[in-house]
């Protein structure tokens, strides 16, 4: 994914980064997952909805990594973005309490 020529071949880098972040979270590697979510959010021509969800998932991953201040910043960014599913309510909850991953991946 670091190869610049891939950008011409794979216009969906945002989705690739997002899915890789999800896989890293499932592997209990939240700090690495957060980095992938943030790369997805910053990808050229990233879909707006995926950018929103990438910021939310980065926040949650950062919470799991014990980086609460960084997580709070990502929750705040999520609140400023267009609403996608329950992104705003999840971000507001994240501002109130630290995210905890459950076996069903539904959060708290």
Q: What is the CA radius of gyration of the chain?
A: 13
Q: Are the beta carbons of 1 and 16 closer than 8 angstroms?
A: yes
Instruction: Convert the pLDDT of each residue in 16-45 to its tens digit.
Output: 999 999 999 999 999 999 999 999 999 988
Question: Using 50, 70 and 90 to split pLDDT, how confident is the model at 105?
Answer: low
What is the C-alpha to C-alpha distance for residues 68 and 45, in angstroms, rounded to an integer? 29
| Residue 55 near residue 77, CB atoms below 8 Å | yes
pTM for the structure as a whole = 0.87
């Amino acid at each position: 994914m670091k190869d610049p020529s891939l950008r011409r071949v794979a216009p969906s880098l945002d989705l690739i980064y997002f899915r890789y972040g999800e896989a890293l979270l499932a592997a209990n590697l939240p700090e690495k997952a957060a980095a992938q979510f943030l790369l997805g959010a910053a990808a050229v021509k990233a879909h707006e909805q995926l950018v929103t969800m990438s910021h939310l998932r980065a926040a949650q991953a950062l919470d799991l990594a014990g980086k609460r201040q960084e997580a709070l910043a990502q929750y705040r960014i999520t609140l400023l973005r267009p609403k996608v599913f329950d992104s705003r309510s999840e971000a507001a909850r994240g501002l109130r309490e630290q995210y905890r991953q459950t076996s069903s991946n539904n959060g708290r």
